Amino acid sequence: MHESYTLLIEVGALLFLLGLLGRLSRRVGLSPIPLYLLAGLAVGHGGLLEMHASEEFFAVGAEIGVILLLVMLGLEYSANELVGNLRAAAPAGLIDGVLNALPGAAFALLLGWDWTAAVVLAGITWVSSSGVIAKVLGDLGRVGNRETPVILSVLVIEDLAMALYLPLVTALLAGVGLFGGLKALVIAVGTVLLVLVVAIRYGHLISTAMSAKDPEALLLGVLGMTLLVAGVASKLQVSAAVGAFLVGIALSGPVAHHATELLTPLRDLFAAVFFVFFGLVTDPRDIPPVLLPALALAVVTMGTKVLTGYLAARRAGIAEPGRWRAGLALVPRGEFSIVIAGLAVSSGRVEPALAALAAAYVLITVVTGPMLARLPDFGWFKQWLRRRAAAARRMEPLPTPD
């Protein structure tokens, strides 16, 4: 009985603290993710006040948090939209992968880590935070801007890439070797294609089986199906996160819309639990030694991410200010980076320092990213752009007479 009281006290106190931190973050205009991570660091192993009774609860909640983050991402797109975005944004996605994954892999090798750690760190530096970026675009009133579809297309490509990357990295972390990794990748590609075909041709039947008019039944049905598919996917070594993402893709119409409304509070709760759990299992004493490497990695990959958005927007015919807005908006890393690091560290096959490096890296990008996104709104930045445009016009060759 004493242990149950302790569990309730620890969980209740920590969730109440997260509520206060979330409110504080919104007051100052920042993402709550770094505050959730800091809260986990404060009460985890080596923290100011270690909580042991609630660790198992937060471990299970963290896994559910990842699943809900992915199914909510899937609910944002129909299968047809996904295929259309994939075709249109494929070049931008390729640029994104090359410019942002390779620095992470190279950095891991420079630190003396093995190829498995290099593949993991490549994923951590590659993927931007959809949640943070969506909030920044809304807060800055840029949802209707011309460059916003470019930003969203890059994020969609990254989401799709994660559907293939996560099974591959999971297989590598399981130690199944190159053949096992390729097998997992083939299974993932086949599963994704199969679900897309089913979603395009029969998605309306799946949605019809669930009533959007009964909120309770819809919530239980969607949540149950998501957890079931995620569990089966995990059993098949395809990744529970990928299974959840594909469930979201398969649902459409009013069912998807109402499911999004019903699942959003659960997603927010368990996503917060996930970030806290990552902090809980990361010893804050491991962060100071990796702080400078994390800062160096953040500076390099923030620059490559800005270049990614700039080139993608230029390819779409966006003017100079919009190119900078697109590039600076893509800087924050968040949920996927922590998911990848969490998978790697829990496997025990990578350097323990990777968790601390990932936590410090995400903290740096999530805190500085929203602030950098505001740069194009400052007067001095607009003047600098005007001077650049004027200099470019002076360097243009005069037209030759006919």
Query: What does the pLDDT look like over 341-397, one tens digit per residue?
Result: 877 877 777 777 888 898 889 888 987 888 898 898 888 988 888 888 777 777 656
Percent of the chain clearing pLDDT 70 (strictly above): 85
More confident residue, 63 or 212: 63
Across 4-13, 21-30, 318-327, 330-339, the highest mean pLDDT is recorded for: 318-327
The pair of three-digit structure tokens given for residue 317, joined into one six-digit string:
């015919």
Interior/surface letters 153-180, b for 16+ CB within 10 angstroms, e for the rest: bbbbbbbbbbbbbbbbbbbbbeeeeeee
CA angle 329/330/336 to nearest 5° reads 135
Answer whether 369's CB lies under 8 Å from 305's CB. no
Six token digits for residue 238: 């395809």
Alpha carbon distance 68, 229 (integer Å): 12
Question: What tokens appear for 318 in the block?
Answer: 């966006």
Query: Measuring CA to CA, how many Å separate 153 from each of 53, 188, 309, 342?
Result: 43, 22, 10, 26
pTM: predicted TM-score of the whole model, two decimal places: 0.73
Q: Which amino acid is at 12?
A: G
Pick the closest to residue 357 from 25, 170, 125 (CA basis). 125
pLDDT bracket for residue 126 (50, 70, 90): very high
Q: Does residue 184 contact residue 167 with C-beta atoms inside 8 Å?
A: yes
Task: Please compute the mean of the pLDDT values over residues 255-267 and round it to a whole number.
Answer: 85
pLDDT value of position 345: 77
Q: What is the pLDDT of residues 31-82, one digit of tens each?
A: 677 788 788 888 876 667 777 767 778 888 888 887 887 788 778 766 666 6
**CA torsion through residues 337, 342, 347, 353, sign:** positive
Beta carbons of 365 and 332 less than 8 angstroms apart: yes
pLDDT given for residue 330 in this prediction: 94
Residue 294 has a pLDDT of: 93
Confidence of residue 402 (pLDDT cuts 50, 70, 90): very low
- At 401, the pLDDT band (50, 70, 90 cuts) reads very low
